[in-house]
Amino acid sequence: MMTGILGKKLGMTQVFDTEGKVIPVTVIEAGPCTVIQRKTSRDDGYDAVQIGFLQMKAHQAGKPMLGHFQKAGKGTFRALQEIRIEGSDPLDVGSEIKVDIFKEGDVVDVMGHTKGRGFAGVIKRWNFRGGRATHGSMFHRAPGSIGASAYPSRVIKNMKMAGHYGNERVTILNLRVVGVQPEKNLLLVRGAVPGAKNSLVYVRRAVKKQGN
Amino acid sequence: MTLLQDVESSQLRKDLPKFSVGDTVRVFSRIKEGEKERVQYFEGIVIGFHRNGIATTFKVRKESYGVGVERTYPIHSPLLEKIEVKKRGDVRRAKLFYLREVSGKKARIREKKDWLSKKGVVVPSVGAPEGPAEEPPAVSPGETPQE
């Protein structure tokens, strides 16, 4: 039983459900992915497959990776993902994984990298409120006090301050699958997923959902 | 066509008549009450469109017992049974939000004059599925259009 697939976020839109309600959905072009490597409990201590997504030219791959891809003999790929499976699953190297592993009504987790915001101030990064813009105010977007003085004579750890924001891996749990279009490799999930358009996302069966 | 448009295109509704801001329309929408489903209509002036592909909506305003009522409908909603265009309005702006502030004579909207059909020129009607109801008031055949 395959539990995950790599995909590309295409963007958001909306669909009407059977009751005519509007559902916000993210469209993901998921797969087809190719099994590059099969790990077995005999050789590797656990059972898993490594899948590749987004084919690229051979010369674009580094030499070590090229050797790895040649072993499978299914071309070179931009993105790889290892997924744990049951030992009895008949997933050999070269077999294809398509979006039809999911069906409407399934619950999935989606992982991706959020949009990078660079060095961001506390208002953007931590939703600080900021000060007044006019009327003689000299306090606009500054963080304010970051602690007391002589005691403790230091800034306590994890103080919310300006710094790098975004471009981090984020997992959104328990998104409902609204639609699957296997012929176009499309997956529609309810709600937003991390990342910009065309960014890589990993969709897996929800791990925290009971009875899924 | 991008794949995203492809997902949207299957949901778009092309069966509804064309209408624009200033028109008086009667919107028939399906309403579910418990088990029963019935069709309710809402008639008023279209005061604006929010155009955004599949998410396009339009706002209809009417005075109901002296109280202004506005409803926003997704134009591609499957719950819309039909839309009847009652009158074509002649307006000069895209959003008629000023109607919220005015009443009586100021809240009138001029009806669109249909010069071409009076002269006998046949143009394909914009609100195709509509019958004579949406035609401007009948004019005697011999009359020439005034400037």
Amino acid at B81: E
Contact A13 B7 (CB under 8 A): yes
Instruction: Provide the percentage of residues in chain B whose pLDDT is more than 90.
Output: 34
Return the residue of B nearest to A23 by Cα. B55
Does the predicted interface ipTM exceed a cut of 0.90? Answer: no
- Rounded-to-integer distance, Cα A83 and Cα A89, Å: 12
By Cβ distance, the residue of A11, A19, A22 closest to B4 is A11
The count of other CB atoms within 10 Å of the CB of residue A33 is 29
- Residue B135: per-residue pLDDT: 45
- More reliable by pLDDT, A209 or A206: A206
- Rounded-to-integer distance, Cα A70 and Cα A68, Å: 5
Give yes or no for a contact between A186 and A100, defined as CB atoms under 8 angstroms apart: no
Return the residue of B nearest to A183 by Cα. B3
Contacts of B7 in chain A (CB under 8 A): 13, 15, 27, 181, 186, 188
Confidence of residue B116 (pLDDT cuts 50, 70, 90): low
Give yes or no for a contact between A204 and A51, defined as CB atoms under 8 angstroms apart: no
DSSP state of B109: -
Contacts of B73 in chain A (CB under 8 A): none
pLDDT in tens, A58-71: 888 888 898 888 88
By Cβ distance, the residue of A19, A20, A184 closest to B3 is A184
Give me the residues paired with residue B107 across strands.
Answer: none
A15 at interface of B, judged by CB pairs closer than 8 A: yes
pLDDT in tens, B94-113: 999 999 998 888 888 888 88
Name A196's Cβ contacts closer than 8 Å, sequence gap at least 6.
A9, A115
